[in-house]
Structure 1
């Protein structure tokens, strides 16, 4: 409940900051209240207790988009990401985020509530960063909203708000591009594509080991959280803080022990410094390439056409 209230307050503050001064005060408050209700009922629901790191790999393994050649998905995702980062208008990254998110949910069969729960964590960082970008220190009142702080003023300016909105849209579009790739393509397929373009083997090995040890760290944290809950360590706020400190204190040591056990298991199975994955041959279909090319072309026109 507390998490849902915090999400509602963050959505209200963000909507109010983006619309204050450009809309009448009553309309801005109504829009902020609507955003708070949506965040309260969707983003704050469920949390991340059962939607962890492992869910990405499980959803990618089961995704119907797994039939598409991974090279096409990588090029489409990274091309969209670069175009979102270079956009001078907020519409191309918004369009890319909606399209790629829609493909992930519709074609990739990722439940909408699960997808929104995945978006919640990066959205919180991006939203707080956007709020900070709106305000600037000035020696005199010079913005849409001015807050006195002793000899200086904390002012929300129109230029700062425009930069914050553009940064917010770019970042959310980029997150949608990366989620499209990670929720439809298992890591071994990505590594196999990187091998074909001669990425150094040591980089690929580190990539896979870090990815695997993220699972170990997550599993260890979940196991310790469950142990704390079984011992009534999730009651009052003070007890929750104490439980979190104890879990964090033992998490590193437990994860190191799990990693050492995993390394010994790899060596006992003949690990010699190179990973070999069984790969299913997936043909490059013309229609998949055409759809990816059309999507990148449409996004590129949206990015570069306003500048001309």
Structure 2
């Protein structure tokens, strides 16, 4: 399934042996540069570059990666359309002729910037999710002085997301084997039953998971088996390349700050 494949790729990708802290540092710094950019040029360059790393270096299948990008790309395109039509002022680029709707220069440029930032930021997050197992990622977050309660809540949320999905998938397959989706009428009825029972089933599973944790001496603190990696293991070469890359992006941000498509 999709959720299992995501975790499998995080443990078996082409960059799994690279320094975890280096990957976190690269992704976060690049994402921040994408967010502060005032033109879509740098976020789009980041999207292309990081996507290339994910596909060609991490060896993530491009079909799976495109499927992974579908949801943020959809929301980004919807936001782009709404901002082009309902925000901004200036010369009309396109008059739709319906309810006086028109695409303005300011709205189009603002929507394009938002779309580029969304894709640039999400590809950096995808790099983290597809190249670093979550247990290692949470362990490395301690270096950034993230409160322990936040990281532990994130770990539990991550676990219960899969618990929720597993229950939903099992219930869906059980209904499907009983021809619960053989017609539109049965499909609506089956989906209603699935939705009404899913919360109760996941609540019970959550209670069972909590009892299992307590039986293993859970004292309110989740311990991870992996220790944070040594900063020296990053290497001078990799650190230099990272600095050059980020400085290059910042320079491009500076020179393309006022660049717009219209």
Matched length: 253
Compute the TM-score of the two structures, normalised by the length of structure 2.
Answer: 0.89
1:51 equivalent to 2:2? Answer yes
Cα distance in 2 for partners of 1:271, 1:251 equals: 27
- Runs of 4+ with >6 A deviation: none
Match of 2:160 in 1: 213
Structure 1 unaligned regions, length at least 5: 1-49
Structure 2 unaligned regions, length at least 5: none
Cα distance in 2 for partners of 1:273, 1:76 equals: 32
1:230 equivalent to 2:180? Answer no
1:63 equivalent to 2:13? Answer yes
1:193 equivalent to 2:144? Answer no
| Counterparts of residues 147-162 of structure 1 (less than 5 Å) | 147-149=97-99, 153-162=100-109
Compute the TM-score of the two structures, normalised by the length of structure 1.
Answer: 0.76
1:177 equivalent to 2:128? Answer no
Match of 2:29 in 1: 79
Specify whether residues 142 and 165 from structure 1 end up closer, same or farther in structure 2 by C-alpha distance, changes over 3 A only: closer
Higher relative contact order (CA 8 A, sep 6+): 2
Cα distance in 2 for partners of 1:65, 1:198 equals: 25
Contact 2:85 2:103 in 1 (8 A): yes
Cα distance in 2 for partners of 1:195, 1:244 equals: 41
2:151 to 168, 183, 204: 204
Cα distance in 2 for partners of 1:217, 1:177 equals: 26
Contact 1:80 1:177 in 2 (8 A): yes
Contact 1:68 1:288 in 2 (8 A): no
Following superposition, the deviation at residue 137 of structure 1 comes to 8.6
1:262 to 209, 221, 224: 209
1:304 to 241, 251, 254: 254
Give per-residue Cα distances to partners, 1:92-137, cap 9 Å, x unaligned.
1111011111101111111100101111111111111111111139
Give per-residue Cα distances to partners, 1:162-198, cap 9 Å, x unaligned.
2111111111111101001111111222222222343
